[in-house]
Copies of this chain bind each other. A is one copy, B any other.
């Protein structure tokens, strides 16, 4: 697991907004939005703070496969990313930072933004991941 306070991903975490999938750079790495945890309750900020943070992340992935979305934003805190190796975790954290910057700009430029269509999303994620991958190398 790679945990950073990198500028752009942390900005989304502080705004408590998931990062929607607005382009193929995002789709290359993450299936759908990178989610944001709920805020911690006051009594979760006591002695068990670190454990409560982890539990909030697990809760956020109740209906998501962490292999399809290898990162999360912790509300008011910052991003955590993971992978099949330490190197891949760091690569996902670095990709997330770039994606967060471009998504910030996109939201500023477009009055209303809509996530990319499922078919384009699927094409990009599948050409880099899984049994039918044929394009590029992601930390392998």
- Neighbouring B residues of A43 by C-beta, 8 Å: 119
Residue A116 lies at the interface, judged by CB distance under 8 Å to chain B: yes
**Bound complex: CA A16 to CA B115 (Å):** 12
21 contacts across the A-B interface (CB closer than 8 A): A7-B102, A7-B105, A10-B102, A11-B109, A13-B23, A14-B105, A14-B106, A15-B106, A17-B110, A23-B78, A24-B77, A24-B78, A25-B78, A43-B119, A45-B117, A45-B120, A46-B119, A49-B123, A104-B108, A107-B109, A108-B108
Residues of chain A whose beta carbon lies under 8 Å from any beta carbon of chain B = 5, 7-8, 10-17, 22-25, 39-40, 42-43, 45-46, 49, 76-78, 98, 101-110, 113, 116-120, 122-123, 127
* Cα(A55)–Cα(B76), bound, Å: 34
A15 & B76 in contact (Cβ 8 Å cutoff): no
Q: How far is the CA of A98 from the CA of B108 in the complex (A)?
A: 18
